């Protein structure tokens, strides 16, 4: 299974960006 992580424009480091960082830690090859 291939996983892609997609996020909109990263302007600041707030809640959504912290979730994105957590997802990248869970699936580093995504």
pLDDT score recorded for residue 10: 83
Q: Per residue in 1-30, pLDDT tens?
A: 898 999 888 888 899 999 999 999 999 998
The pLDDT value recorded for residue 30 is 86
Q: Which residues of 1-30 are buried (b: 16+ CB within 10 A; e: fewer)?
A: eeeeeeeeeeeeeeeeeeebeeeeeeeeee
Residue 21 has a pLDDT of 93
pLDDT score of 26:
93
């Amino acid at each position: 299974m291939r996983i892609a992580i997609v996020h909109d424009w990263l302007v600041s480091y707030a809640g959504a960006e912290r979730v994105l960082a957590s997802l990248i830690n869970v699936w580093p090859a995504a």
